[in-house]
Amino acid sequence: MARTRRGRGNLTSTLAVIGAVGAAVGVIALVAWLQGDTGKSASTPSTTTSSSLGRRASAERAASKAWSTEAQAAFGGTGIAQRVTDLASGAHDWMAGSMSTTDFKARLDDDLGAFRTAREAVGKLRPYPYDKRVNEFFRGTTALYVDSVQVYEAALPLPPGDLRTQYDLLARRLRLLGDRVFDRGQTLVDAHLYDTPTPDLDIRKPEEVPNWVAEGLAPGPPLAPAPPPASSEPQLRQASRPQQSRSAWLKAVADAHAPTDRDVRSAFGSQDPNTLAALATRLVNAAEKLRAVPDPKGDREESARYRLGLLVWADALRTDQLSPSMLAIAQDVALTGTGLILPP
């Protein structure tokens, strides 16, 4: 999430720096949250008195803030936020040849330990009191960060070239998906914080579901045909989207003919690169087809979660397509997708 003062028309310096090293815009929401800014500079409580908020709302707000404090500690605080941004810049430098493989490996090893520690701690959090899916989504964020680092570690022996570029793109997509999965969980928490926007701030949230071509992160040779050029504009969240009945949305989902979790598991078992590539393409195409479909009435997030889950599954398959030796990583990525599409 990025913030601008109304009338200035430019993004923050933090956004500019992160954007320069490769499509990690959305990590700003996580950074702000881990710094304890769960909306303080972007919004203000409608009131701090129980008489104005109502007892129920005040209780929900207090309980949500208390749980968020525990979650921030489980994530590892601002140290993890810095690691996420440093991972993006370090990978950029390594790919450009300005960081040695030895130095990059040392950074990856250190990051992997920290992200695994965070994943374990987040997994032990008590359930969020108003929606247990938040725990699943936050755990998915840490899991995707771990997976991203492991993909980079698998790429270390590769020489510069198209194949190493695909490892980098995959790792970047996984990291960005982790950011977006975090956003889905935080949105559920925000619903119980009862904050109201601060008038002089313009909130620029990223698109809930990335468009890989527009982001410049779509797979290419040798995994897939060369994609079209990336967009020159940042992909930002629409202020509003059309809605329809949930039954009509479910019909549209069925009509998209997206592969299922069973299809994904079967593709892993096939170990056939062509099967993996075809299924990944179908998943991304289904997510893009549903982008233009009106959301279920009153639940924009359900549509976002489903489409995001399809993209996570697609990259699970791309992980296995890159190398059979990464099957365990691919299966871990797929579990996060299942948690979005079929939450417990």
Give the pLDDT score at 18: 32
Asked if 182 and 278 sit in the same domain, the reply is no
Is residue 297 scored above 80 in pLDDT? yes
Domain boundary, last residue among 182, 206, 230:
206
DSSP letters along 154-181, please? HHTTSPSSHHHHHHHHHHHHHHHHHHHH
Asked if 70 and 169 sit in the same domain, the reply is yes
Asked if 259 and 195 sit in the same domain, the reply is no
Asked if 156 and 283 sit in the same domain, the reply is no
Confirm whether 254 is domain-assigned. yes
Q: Which residues contact 329 (CB under 8 A, 6 or more apart)?
A: 147, 150, 151, 154, 319
Closest CA to 198 of 21, 43, 10: 43
Domain boundary, last residue among 150, 184, 206:
206
Confirm whether 226 is domain-assigned. no
Closest CA to 308 of 212, 236, 204: 212
The residue-averaged pLDDT of 159-179 equals 97
DSSP letter at 318 equals H
For residues 151 and 318, the answer to whether their CB atoms sit within 8 Å is no
Query: What whole-number distance in Å separates Cα of residue 44 and Cα of residue 186?
Result: 17
State the pLDDT confidence band at 44, using cuts at 50, 70 and 90.
very low
DSSP letters along 278-312, please? HHHHHHHHHHHHHHTSPEETT-HHHHHHHHHHHHH
Confirm whether 232 is domain-assigned. no
Asked if 197 and 110 sit in the same domain, the reply is yes
Confirm whether 262 is domain-assigned. yes
Confirm whether 221 is domain-assigned. no
The amino acid occupying position 182 is F
Is residue 4 scored above 60 in pLDDT? no
Q: Which residues contact 53 (CB under 8 A, 6 or more apart)?
A: 45, 46, 47, 61, 194
Domain boundary, last residue among 206, 232, 261:
206
Asked if 197 and 245 sit in the same domain, the reply is no
Total number of domains constituting the chain = 2
pTM, two decimals, is 0.88
Confirm whether 227 is domain-assigned. no
Asked if 25 and 97 sit in the same domain, the reply is yes
State the pLDDT confidence band at 36, using cuts at 50, 70 and 90.
low
Is residue 220 scored above 80 in pLDDT? yes
For residues 310 and 296, the answer to whether their CB atoms sit within 8 Å is no
Determine the structural domain holding residue 69 and report its residue range.
Answer: 1-206
State the pLDDT confidence band at 203, using cuts at 50, 70 and 90.
low
The residue-averaged pLDDT of 204-228 equals 95
Asked if 259 and 199 sit in the same domain, the reply is no
Is residue 98 scored above 80 in pLDDT? yes
Asked if 47 and 181 sit in the same domain, the reply is yes
Asked if 17 and 163 sit in the same domain, the reply is yes
Give the pLDDT score at 78: 78
For residues 175 and 22, the answer to whether their CB atoms sit within 8 Å is no
Asked if 286 and 179 sit in the same domain, the reply is no
Confirm whether 343 is domain-assigned. yes
Confirm whether 214 is domain-assigned. no
For residues 84 and 145, the answer to whether their CB atoms sit within 8 Å is yes
Asked if 18 and 154 sit in the same domain, the reply is yes
Query: What whole-number distance in Å separates Cα of residue 264 and Cα of residue 311?
Result: 12
State the pLDDT confidence band at 210, using cuts at 50, 70 and 90.
very high
Is residue 51 scored above 80 in pLDDT? no
Query: What whole-number distance in Å separates Cα of residue 221 and Cα of residue 223?
Result: 5
